[in-house]
Amino acid sequence: MSGTSGVVVCRFRLAELMVTALRAFADIKKYARYLRFIVGFAEAALEIRKATTSDEIARAVAMDEAHLGSNKRADYIKARAENGGLRVAVLRDEVLAFCCLDNGYFFEKPFISLLIVSVDARRRGLGAGLLSHVSSASTEVWTSTNRSNAAMRKLLDKAGWRYCGELRGLDEGDPERFYKTA
C-alpha cells in the first residue's frame, strides 16, 4: 500500500467512526424521545382527584385494611369520601394510592390524616403527587407521622413541608411529628 492510499484508508476509517458516533447519538436522541413519550403517556394516564365512585372508595378501604391489618378505619374513610375529603391517584382506572383530607380533625385546619400508596406502586411519585395536589388547593395544610416512619418523613422533607414539632404519649416510645406546608 502506498503512503497516499494509507492516508485515504485512515481518513475513511475516521469518517466511518464519525458516522458510527453520529448514529449512536441519533439513537440516544431517538430513545430519549421514546422515553419522554412513555413518561408523558404515563403522566397523562395518571389522575389525582376526589374519589367519585363506590368502587374507588372500596379500593381505598381495602388498601387501608391491607396496610393496617384491620378494617377499623373503614367507616372513617367512607365518611371522608362523603364529605369530599377522599383523594385518589388513579392509573388506567386502578386506584393505586389515596389520602384523606380532614377539616375537622386538627384545630379546623386542613389535615391529611391518612396517606397510603399501594405496596407495588411505591417510589413512583404517587405520595408526592397526592401531597402536591392537596397542598396546591389550600394555603396551609397539616399532617403528622410517627418518628419511626422514615419513608413518610423523607417524603415530607423532599416535598418541602415544614417540621413543626413532636408530641409524645400517643404511641409509646414513638412520638408523633407534625408538619405543615411551608
For ligand COA, the binding residue among 57, 64, 88, 145 (CB under 6 A) is 145
Sheet bearing 94-106, strands edge to edge: 46-50, 86-91, 94-106, 109-117, 142-146, 176-180, 162-167
Residue with smaller CB distance to ligand COA, 110 or 127 = 127
Residue with smaller CB distance to ligand COA, 15 or 170 = 170
158 binds ligand COA (CB under 6 A): yes
88 binds ligand COA (CB under 6 A): no
123 binds ligand COA (CB under 6 A): yes
d(CA 32, CA 38): 10
Yes or no: say if 147 and 175 are a contact pair by the CB < 8 Å rule. yes
Minimal distance, residue 171 CB to ligand COA, in Å: 12
For ligand COA, the binding residue among 155, 161, 179, 180 (CB under 6 A) is 155
Q: Is the torsion defined by CA of 88, 79, 109, 174 positive or negative?
A: negative
70 binds ligand COA (CB under 6 A): no
**Contacts with 59 (C-beta within 8 Å, 6 or more apart), sequence order:** 88, 94, 95, 98
162 binds ligand COA (CB under 6 A): no
Residues binding ligand COA (CB under 6 A): 67, 114-117, 122-128, 145, 149-152, 154-155, 158
